[in-house]
Amino acid sequence: MQQLAQVEITATDSKKVLIVEDDTSLAIALREGFTTEGYDVTSAADGVRALERARQVQPDLMILDIMLPKISGLDVCRMLRNEGSDVPIIMLTARGQEIDKVLGLKLGADDYVTKPFSLLELLARAETVMRRRLPKFHSAQQKQTSFVFGPIKVDLARHEVKRNGTPLKMTSREFMLLQYFIENRGRVVTRDELLNDVWGYQALPFTRTVDTHVAKLRKKIEEDPHDPRHLITVHRLGYKFTA
């Protein structure tokens, strides 16, 4: 298997972060913390403003509280994903909101942090989710930025997928999953690997989460999702992607 090199992310990249938090003191602390680390910070105090800011600014990262005025953070996350936004989202939750955490992740959030939390921990998680979203390239002599199989063309640099030249609407999680399969093509990957490497956490004990996303991905990339040619189920083991 070809080795891949991840593009590293540093504070000097001046990434744009949108902080959505209605607690004024916490919002100020987050703004100061991210600004100190070199981020370009935009903020919003309610769900309606959060959507407006996200559409206008096109941030590289979103820190999104669940409990917000006007529109909840969960609805903000859902609406952005339905619009096709792949901005990395870290949800902020209060203790005891386990159901909200699970729902947020299912709606497309990348990670969550439980209040109260350490700013250093949040900054570390921010770098992690952003690094996972950056395009990966083969470290061969000629770096690969696209991949073609059947009628599907995947542009890894632009995060675009087309079938016969027509763009496919794909959620950020589906793209990450497809990219992971491409990078690991030819070998069997387990559900636990996918949960850990694509979702980046093991908080969800349901491997069914993977199966559900794979089924949705098949509908978009396979000629016949019920008889897949590229994304194959390996009984009791996981999945294998073949071109």
- The per-residue pLDDT for range 49-63, each reduced to its tens digit, is 999 999 998 898 999
**CA geometry: angle 80, 82, 86, nearest 5 deg:** 55
Residues 164 and 227 in one domain: yes
Whole-angstrom distance, CA of residue 136 vs CA of residue 144: 9
Residues 122 and 211 in one domain: no
Residue where a domain stops, chosen among 108, 133, 158: 133
Residues 98 and 34 in one domain: yes
With contact defined as beta carbons under 8 Å apart, do 212 and 173 qualify?
no
The pLDDT-based confidence of 151 (bands split at 50, 70, 90) is very high
Sheet containing 152-155, strands listed edge to edge, beginning at the edge strand earlier in sequence: 146-149, 152-155, 160-163, 166-167
Separate counts of helices (H) and strands (E) for the chain: 8, 14
Burial of 124 (0-12, 13-18, 19+ CB in 10 A): exposed
Residues 96 and 128 in one domain: yes
Residues 155 and 115 in one domain: no
With contact defined as beta carbons under 8 Å apart, do 185 and 242 qualify?
yes
Lowest mean pLDDT among 18-22, 82-86, 133-137, 161-165: 133-137
Average pLDDT over residues 6-29: 72
Residues 54 and 75 in one domain: yes
**Any domain includes 1:** no
Residue where a domain stops, chosen among 90, 117, 133: 133
Q: Which long-range contacts (CB under 8 A, 24 or more apart) does 162-169 make?
A: 163/220, 163/221, 168/220, 168/221, 169/84
Residues 124 and 143 in one domain: no
With contact defined as beta carbons under 8 Å apart, do 239 and 214 qualify?
yes
The pLDDT-based confidence of 178 (bands split at 50, 70, 90) is very high
**Any domain includes 187:** yes
Residue where a domain stops, chosen among 66, 100, 133: 133
Average pLDDT over residues 69-77: 93
Name the H helices within the chain. Answer: 24-36, 47-57, 73-82, 98-106, 119-133, 172-183, 191-194, 208-221
Residues 192 and 78 in one domain: no
With contact defined as beta carbons under 8 Å apart, do 117 and 90 qualify?
no
**Any domain includes 206:** yes
Supply the pLDDT for residue 204.
52
The pLDDT-based confidence of 140 (bands split at 50, 70, 90) is very low
Structural domain of residue 227, as residue ranges?
Answer: 136-241
Mean pLDDT for the chain overall = 82
* AA letter at 173: R
3-state secondary structure of 142: coil
Supply the pLDDT for residue 137.
32
Average pLDDT over residues 155-171: 89
CATH code of 82's domain = 3.40.50.2300
**Any domain includes 4:** no
φ and ψ at residue 96, rounded to 5 degrees: 90, 5
**Any domain includes 102:** yes
Whole-angstrom distance, CA of residue 13 vs CA of residue 106: 29
What's the number of domains the chain is made of? 2
Residues 15 and 99 in one domain: yes
Token pair recorded at residue 134: 């950056």
Residues 15 and 129 in one domain: yes
**Any domain includes 58:** yes
Provide CB contacts within 8 A for 96, sequence distance 6+: none
